[in-house]
Amino acid sequence: MQILRRRGWELPESEATPEAVFRDRRRLIQAAAAGSIAAAAWPVAARAATPEADPTADLYPGPRNEAYTLDRPLTPEEVATTYNNFYEFGSSKGIWKRARDNLRIRPWTVHLDGDVEKPIEIGFDDLVRKMGVEERLYRHRCVEAWAMAVPWSGFPMAKLVEFAKPLAKAKYVRMETFNDPDMASGQKEFWYPWPYVEGVTMEEATNELAFIVTGLYGKPVPAQNGAPLRLALPWKYGFKSIKSIVRFTFTEKQPKSFWEKVQGREYGFWANVNPEVPHRRWSQATERMIGTDERRKTLLYNGYGEFVAHLYEGMDRRKLFY
């Protein structure tokens, strides 16, 4: 199918990214890794990606939750905010400017509906003040075998679930990104099943690691990283961590996610990180830390097994890791 040729993560980076962007990024990354340029030499605009006049800016940085520690250095801010997957703004890793210049996040209404006591609509600014903000250092592992380590800010997804008051029959949470092709030109690409959808079980949603992200590096999260709110599920491949969410629907039915609709044999519902289960077309044994040439061994559940392995006991292992 033609569609399959369009997806960035099936291609070598050099093909998936417009060549000029790729060359420039590689040059910068290599130079930064070699120490010949400081992080300060990264594009100034990247560092200004968060608008100054954000009415929730006073919430950041929230207190650091020390329960979550890293085994590797933090990825520099300039790297994590200029190397992104956000297909709504294009399929290259260099979409940060397009997202920054086009994503309008105010007003932003969040819907909590489906199997709940009473559907709720709440503005993002009210929601984040109600939930509060803390900071967590998490690893993030993309299915494309690159990784980063970043300080997210936000609140536990369990808190949002509690606020939504789901009914006992709800088994899953289905999440949806905005759908506005005039704002996000990638959504004009009709071969994708917009809007972006993801889903988790209620047990996953209420696991202590599941985190609703509203900030990054002690500031409101930049557009390109999924403003104003996105998910972080650090034990799963990054495509599960849906960006710019507008709707949480509680349901009895297992949701079908965006990439599952595109190619279900390669991008399944569970998508837990496992070095021993290769993607159909590449190994998952190692990962490259973005901004460096360093390769590290991939960890089962991305190193978060102590928090989540029990969720999958007794399940069919064939499906859990893609």
We find the least distance from the C-beta atom of residue 165 to ligand MTE, in angstroms, to be 26
What stretches of the chain adopt beta strand conformation (E)?
109-114, 120-123, 134-141, 146-156, 172-177, 197-201, 211-216, 219-220, 230-232, 245-251, 286-289, 295-297
Tokens of 276: 């021993």
CB 132, min distance to ligand MTE, A:
22
Please identify, using beta-carbon distances, which residue of 48 and 167 lies nearer to ligand MTE.
48
- Closer residue to ligand MTE, CB minimum distance, 131 or 271: 271
Q: How far is the CB of 41 from ligand MTE (least distance, A)?
A: 21
Which has the closest alpha carbon to 281: 18, 32, 81, 10? 10
Closest residue by Cα to residue 259 from 277, 240, 272: 240
Which of 220, 82, 252, 88 minimizes the C-alpha distance to 152?
220
Measured from the CB atom, is 85 or 249 closer to ligand MTE? 85
Nearest approach in angstroms of CB 142 to ligand MTE is 4
Comparing CB distances to ligand MTE, the nearer of 105 and 313 is 105
Determine the residue with CB nearest ligand MTE. 238
Give the chain's length: 322
CB of 13 to ligand MTE, least distance (A): 13
Closest approach, Cβ 251 to ligand MTE, in A, equals: 19
Query: What is the C-alpha end-to-end distance of the chain, expressed in Å?
Result: 21
The binding site for ligand MTE (CB under 6 A) comprises 84-88, 142, 177, 196, 225-226, 238-239, 241-244
State which residue, 21 or 167, has the beta carbon closest to ligand MTE. Answer: 21
Which three-class secondary structure state does DSSP give residue 312? helix
**252 SS3 class:** coil
How far apart CA 214 and CA 207 sit, in angstroms, is 18
Indicate the residue among 196 and 321 with the shorter CB distance to ligand MTE.
196
Burial (CB count within 10 angstroms: exposed 0-12, middle 13-18, buried 19+), residue 33: middle
Min. distance of Cβ 164 from ligand MTE in angstroms? 20
Q: How far apart are CA 39 and CA 191, in angstroms?
A: 38
Residue type, 196: Y
Q: Which is nearer to ligand MTE, 76 or 238 (CB)?
A: 238
Nearer to ligand MTE, 155 or 239 (CB): 239
- What are the beta bridge partners of residue 139? 149
Q: How far is the CB of 317 from ligand MTE (least distance, A)?
A: 23
Lookup result for tokens 């309008």: 104
User: What does residue 156 show for φ and ψ, rounded to 5 degrees?
Assistant: -60, 140
Q: Give residue for tokens 């009473």.
A: 118
Q: Which is nearer to ligand MTE, 177 or 207 (CB)?
A: 177
Shortest gap between Cβ of 178 and ligand MTE (angstroms)? 8
